């Protein structure tokens, strides 16, 4: 195998593969990237058996062939080379020789036959999604995926219906829902699968206007340009999220997103380290904030707001609030509240494009 390629394009693709290749050395081959040089292009493939990334890059191929090499080391080597130069990669017995200018490296390789097989998609279903909107939806649900032990919650529910994409995540304390309409989206039947958190993170790195989607019984496939992301389906049942979204909460609080973020961030500086609890005192046309830590002190603040409801005291985890507020684009947010013990519904006052609602359980403070 021997091929020549520009350093700048190669380092960009190798960097994407860093999020995929296995770093824990459970199987040494999973720390490697498979390089397969063919007619006018090189395929780069990385996988950890759960998520994979296949990339096709144009190159001047002098000798076709395939091998696997440590993904982190080959990336560090190529990254260290001067910008704008060509890089030649050539197999010499059991090493990969990397040459550029006066620089030369020899890196040990492993046989391609030992590399695990990664499924190939067909992309025959004609499902094309707007990538920018999908990435925005991922941003709205990603922060609520925190349950690594409960694998069925270590991802988001991904649903495709007639002209509608939905993403839902929950960690048992909060739930985030995002949806967007797509003209021309008409799957043969409704699709509902759990997409792993790692896959969602890698999807956010893809570039382009659209992403093609395909699936089989065990895998999901997303293709944007020359990059195809492969993910194993999380085979479990997602909780019935619709049952926990409150409806008809009578007390309405509307206030500036930026002002609320700043006030919660200030007051939480003196909240208890573990709970991050901040108490809201809701009164006519204002809300007072309070937090305390017996070992440090206490903090108070207040904001003028639009509040329609009875006086109420309710506590929240400050970080859970800030996570939601950081992803909202609207100037104002609305809290729909029933009482101090029931789930609260949060949403932007106005929405354009992606629809987002956030369900947050209050906390005792």
Rounded to whole angstroms, the Cα distance separating 218 from 302 reads 52
Asked if the model's pLDDT at residue 152 lies above 80, the reply is no
Predicted confidence at residue 25, as pLDDT, reads: 66
Is it the case that residue 149 has pLDDT exceeding 90?
A: no
Pairing of strands 103-110, 95-100: antiparallel
pLDDT for the residue numbered 235: 86
Question: Is 236 a residue whose pLDDT tops 90?
Answer: no
Confidence of residue 24 (pLDDT cuts 50, 70, 90): confident
Instruction: Let me know: does 181 contact 161? Beta carbons within 8 Å.
Output: no
Please write the tens of the pLDDT for every residue from 196-206.
999 999 999 99
pLDDT score recorded for residue 26? 75
- pLDDT at residue 359 above 90? yes
pLDDT tens by residue, 288-340: 999 999 899 999 999 999 999 999 999 999 999 999 999 998 999 999 999 99
Kindly list the distances between the CA atom of residue 93 and the CA atoms of 15, 42, 120, in Å, as whole numbers in the listed order: 26, 20, 29
pLDDT of residue 22: 78
The pTM assigned to this predicted structure is 0.92
Please tell me whether residue 31 adopts helix, strand or coil conformation: helix
Residue 73 CB burial class (10 angstroms; 0-12, 13-18, ≥19): middle
For the chain, where do the domains classified as CATH 3.10.150.10 start and end? 2-114, 128-209+229-242, 245-360
- DSSP 3-state percent helix, strand, coil across the chain (nearest 5): 20, 45, 35
Query: Given this model, what pLDDT does residue 169 score?
Result: 97
Topology classification of domain 128-209+229-242: DNA Polymerase III; Chain A, domain 2 (3.10.150)
- Cα 97 to Cα 112: distance, rounded to the nearest angstrom: 16
What's the whole-number mean pLDDT along residues 210-234? 95
The rounded distance, in Å, linking the Cα atoms of 360 and 21 is 35
Average pLDDT, the chain: 95
Q: What is the mean pLDDT of residues 55-68?
A: 97
**pLDDT score for 175:** 97
Tokens at 336, concatenated:
């729909």
pLDDT of 353 reads: 85
pLDDT per residue as tens digits for the range 76-118? 999 999 999 999 999 999 999 999 999 999 999 999 999 999 9
Q: Classify domain 245-360 at the CATH topology level.
A: DNA Polymerase III; Chain A, domain 2 (3.10.150)
Which residues sit opposite 269 in a β-bridge? none
Whether domain 2-114 has CATH 3.10.150.10: the reply is yes
């Amino acid at each position: 195998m021997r091929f020549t390629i520009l350093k700048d394009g190669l380092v960009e693709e190798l960097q994407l593969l860093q999020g995929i290749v296995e770093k824990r050395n459970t199987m040494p081959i999973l720390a490697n990237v498979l390089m397969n040089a063919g007619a006018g292009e090189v395929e780069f493939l990385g996988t950890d058996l759960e998520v994979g990334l296949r990339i096709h890059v144009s190159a001047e191929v002098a000798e076709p062939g395939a091998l696997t090499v440590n993904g982190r080391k080959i990336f560090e080597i190529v990254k260290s080379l001067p910008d704008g130069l060509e890089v030649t990669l050539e197999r010499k017995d059991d090493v990969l020789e990397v040459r550029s200018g006066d620089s030369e490296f020899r890196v040990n390789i492993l046989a391609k036959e030992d590399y695990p097989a990664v499924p190939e998609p067909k992309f025959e279903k004609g499902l094309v999604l707007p990538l920018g909107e999908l990435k925005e939806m991922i941003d709205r649900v990603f922060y609520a995926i925190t349950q690594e032990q409960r694998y069925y919650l270590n991802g988001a529910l991904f649903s495709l219906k007639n002209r509608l994409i939905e993403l839902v995540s929950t960690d048992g304390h909060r739930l985030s829902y995002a949806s967007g309409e797509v003209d021309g989206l008409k799957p043969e039947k409704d699709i509902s699968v759990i997409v792993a958190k790692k896959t969602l993170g890698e999807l956010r790195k893809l570039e382009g206007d659209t992403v093609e989607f395909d699936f089989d019984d065990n895998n999901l496939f997303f293709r944007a340009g020359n990059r195809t992301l492969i993910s194993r389906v999380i085979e479990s049942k997602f909780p019935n999220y619709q049952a926990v979204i409150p409806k008809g909460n009578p007390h309405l609080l509307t206030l500036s997103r930026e002002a609320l973020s700043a006030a919660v961030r200030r007051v939480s500086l003196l909240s208890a380290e573990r709970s991050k609890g901040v108490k809201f005192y809701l009164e006519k046309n204002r809300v007072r904030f309070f937090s305390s830590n017996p070992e440090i002190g206490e903090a108070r603040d207040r904001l003028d707001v639009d509040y329609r409801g009875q006086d109420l005291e309710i506590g929240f985890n400050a970080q859970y609030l800030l996570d939601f507020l950081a992803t909202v684009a609207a100037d104002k947010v609305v809290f729909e509240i029933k009482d101090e013990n029931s789930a609260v519904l949060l949403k932007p006052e106005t929405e354009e494009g992606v629809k987002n609602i956030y369900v947050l359980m209050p906390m005792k403070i």
